[in-house]
Structure 1
Amino acid sequence: MHTFKDYTGSVYGGLGHLLWAYCQAKQIPIPSKLALIQDLERFDFIIWRDLLSELQALTGHSHLALDIASMLETKHLGVMGYLASSSANIETAIRRYYDFHRLLYDGNPLVVEAKDDVLLIRWEVPEALVTNLTNEIAIALVFQFFNRYLRPDQFQLAEIHFSHAAPKSTVFYEKYFGCPVKFQQTYSQVIVPISILALPIDQADQTLQQLLLQQAQHLLSQLPNSTQLDQRLQSAILTGLQQGEFQLEQVAEQLNVRPRQLQRHLQQQGTTFSERLQEVRLLVAVQYLRDPHLSLNEISLLLGFSEQSAFQRAFRKWTQMTPKQWRKQYALKAHLTAV
């Protein structure tokens, strides 16, 4: 019997926002799974992996991961990104990245290893979980992380390694990263010259750094419960709603735990399965209501309600508004923002 210890990791919600921004910029249809995670603080690594694969299938883009990473902004990295940008120098920024990497991707360790005159930076993710796309975007995000805080004339990587097989042409990769790129290596990793560590960061702010450190430490202390139980359960309920299988026993089966075990976990969190189900239903309902093409009856069915009136009663209980009122309010805000 598997338990929550088999948890495979969660990803910071800002990376979901990065995928959304990319789809909008490239006029790519928004995948339904991507829409569902936009209001989540974190989501399962498996969803991240599957979304990248879905976008690859939609676009046929041979360098999709690198293209997505090029749109990275500090906000997509959350508090960790702002911690790095307020650091005094690159060495401190890397230290912050190492100390708080779980805030970006929680599940497997980040390894930072000094060897001769270079620094090796890599994620240790089980091969069963990764794809070429997840490898490439992980490395490209680290590259863009550095690229944001150093001028091009200062910054030069030593090498990039990928564990997967080389494509037909590696020219694009070497142009993108500005250094030699090797494939079929032991690890996918960024290799940085130690000589750049002392380089200052223009946006350094010691006062902001201390405030952000406190916030990051607080967030990190919350990860064990929120990622191993709450986020995984939320994803399972989302899947269950899509498949019409969202009863306690069915969700517990998805998670490979006994129903009583799941109930005990929820009791320890001070909640119940019914409460968690309603929270997820509200989250999804809001996403569906933003789509003017979906009728209230269709939304009711998608949320697992037997009839529209049951959905309307539930939504009023959640928000003190009817679905029609919420949709009208949202449309008005969208109009005012556009103007």
Structure 2
Amino acid sequence: MQQITSYQGSVYGGLGDLLFKYCHAHQVPMPAQLLQVQNLERFDYQVWYLLLNELDQQLDQPALGLEIAKYVELKHLGVLGYLAQSCEHLGEALLRYHDFYRLIYDGSPLIFKQDQDHLIIGWDVPKVFTTQITNEIAIAIMYQFFRHFLHIDDVELIQVDFMHAAPKDTMIYQRYFGCPVLFSQPTAQIVLPSHILSKPIRHADQTLQDLLTAQAQTLLKELPHTTQLDERLQQAILKQLQKQKLNIEYIAVQLHTSVRQLQRHLQSQNTTFQERVQAIRQMLAFKYLQDPHLSLHEIALLLGYSEQSAFQRAFKLWTKHTPQQWRKQHLSIAPK
């Protein structure tokens, strides 16, 4: 598959090793693309998204993301994992997790909200760029991170929210997290009691933390710069896709900026407005093609193409395959 890098970002290469470890432990046939990303420092989020959904279709196993997260090791989180482990208490570790989360997933930010009684940690990724399994693994990895790497065995979650519709057996999730789990919610998030922030971490080491913080800051500077403008741009493109108002002049007005300023911003990221639009269309195309109830004509309209043939030409440029070929390949995986 041709790689199109959008602000939707990349993921840390250790996550590829996590999937490899799960497949090896369960004797699951390795997807070809999973073998290709082994030993890479980072790879595109689109690849991560497709790998998770390919495994989900292949195995047809409830709450697969929760099972995969059980195999996470500290190395799969890179310097961020070791940095958080060196902190004195959970509040400090979460602050580092928030500051350097892009080292794990360079895309939409991790959102922290706190009041007197609650701490809410949310994953600010548009629903169209997620599935149940992508949200499962993000939340479950953080939960395993609390328990096994920070050695906080008595993590008491108040609530876990997922954006997608409830599966047949929701009790799997309640047993796993030990709290109420809601579905079809606006945001994927976990809710914890505020008092948990003072829990001490067994391996606190201030000297090590200083060294790792410096390393994390260096790595963070090497990532493409993601700004609030990027997030607003993505939302504007998503809203205008079906209205076929995807010219840069119209989008600039929606963002309350000038065309020249928007072009300069995109140029600073080595991309163009049209490349950003195509990256979003490609991600959505993969998602829509996995829905057997959507015709190719309907998908073309959802992506803002006036004709199905235009969608087919674009898709072949992205993947070297027609939409029909890609759909047949990904819907023909027989569940076990």
> Which bracket does the TM-score occupy, shorter chain normalised?
0.5 to 0.7
How many residues end up aligned between the 2 structures?
227
For residues 127-166 of structure 1, the aligned pairs below 5 Å read 127-148=127-148, 149-152=150-153, 154-166=154-166
How far did residue 201 of structure 1 move? 0.5
Residue pairs, 1:305-320, within 5 angstroms: none
Q: Does 1:81 align with 2:81?
A: yes
Deviation string, structure 1 residues 22-51 (Cα, Å, up to 9, x no partner): 011111111110000012111111111100
Partner of 1:70: 70
Instruction: Answer whether contact 2:152 2:201 (CA < 8 A) is retained.
Output: no
Question: Which residue does the alignment assign to 1:60?
Answer: 60
Q: What TM-score, normalized by structure 2, do the two folds share?
A: 0.64
Unaligned runs of 5+ in 2: 226-265, 272-336
- Give me the CA root mean square deviation: 2.2
Match of 2:211 in 1: 211
Q: State the distance in 2 between where 1:5 and 1:166 align.
A: 32
Which residue type is aligned with residue 48 of structure 1?
A: W
Identical columns (%): 49
Query: Is the Cα–Cα contact under 8 Å of residues 143 and 190 in structure 1 kept in the other structure?
Result: no
Match for residue 190 of structure 1?
Answer: 190
AA matched with 1:52: L
CA distance in 2, matches of 1:134, 1:111: 17
- Contact preservation (8 Å) 2:139, 2:190: yes
Q: In structure 1, the residue corresponding to 2:224 is in which secondary structure?
A: helix
Q: CA deviation at 1:9?
A: 1.1
Q: Secondary structure at the match of 2:223?
A: helix
- Letter of the structure 1 residue corresponding to residue 173 of structure 2: Y
Q: CA deviation at 1:158?
A: 1.0
Q: Which structure's relative contact order is higher, taking Cα pairs within 8 Å and 6+ residues apart?
A: 2
Q: 1:113 matched to which residue of 2?
A: 113
SS at match of 2:201: coil
Q: Displacement, 1:5?
A: 8.8
Structure 1 residue 15 displacement after superposition: 0.5
SS in 2 for 1:208: helix
1:199 is aligned to 199
Do structure 1's residue 39 and structure 2's residue 11 form an aligned pair? no
User: Contact (CA 8 Å) 2:146, 2:152: kept in 1 or not?
Assistant: no
Deviation of the 1:7 alpha carbon: 2.5
Check the 8 A contact 1:142/1:190 in 2, yes or no.
Answer: no
Distance in structure 2 (CA, Å) of the matches to 1:49 and 1:265: 23
1:235-274 superposed matches below 5 A? none
Q: Give, in whole Å, the separation in 2 of the partners of 1:102 and 1:85.
A: 17
SS in 1 for 2:128: coil
- CA contact under 8 A between 2:127 and 2:163: conserved in structure 1? no
Kindly indicate whether the alpha-carbon contact (under 8 Å) linking 1:22 and 1:68 is maintained by their aligned counterparts in 2.
yes
Give CA deviations for 1:145-183 in whole Å, capped at 9, x if unaligned. 11121343x321111011111112211101101111111
Secondary structure at the aligned position of 1:197 is classed as: helix
The separation in 1 between residues aligned to 2:5 and 2:27, in whole angstroms, is 39
Which amino acid in 2 is paired with 1:150? H
Inter-partner Cα distance in structure 2 for 1:116 and 1:89: 18
Alpha-carbon deviation of 1:115? 3.1
Counterpart of 1:91 in structure 2: which amino acid?
Answer: G
C-alpha deviation, 1:265, in angstroms: 5.5
Q: How far 1:138 sits from its partner (Å)?
A: 1.0
SS at match of 2:168: coil
Superposition TM-score, scaled by structure 1 size: 0.64
Corresponding residue of 1:325: none
Hey, what's the Cα distance between the residues in 2 that align with 1:129 and 1:188? Answer: 12
Q: Which runs of 5+ in 1 are unaligned?
A: 226-260, 267-339
Per-residue CA distance 1:102-128 (angstroms, 9 max, x = gap)? 000001111000134111101111222
Aligned equivalents of 1:170, 1:5: Cα separation in 2: 35
Which contiguous aligned blocks of 4+ residues in structure 1 show a shift greater than 3 angstroms?
A: none
Alpha-carbon distance, 1:129 to partner: 1.0
CA distance in 2, matches of 1:126, 1:9: 13
- 2:274 aligned residue: none
Deviations 1:46-86 (A, max 9, x none): 11110001111221211210000111111100000001111
Corresponding residue for 2:242? none
In the aligned structure 1, how far is the partner of 2:181 from the partner of 2:43? 31
Q: Is the CA contact (8 Å cut-off) linking 1:85 and 1:203 kept in structure 2? A: yes
Superposition deviation, residue 184 in structure 1: 1.3
Give the letter aligned to residue 82 of structure 1: Y
Does residue 1:100 correspond to 2:96, yes or no? no
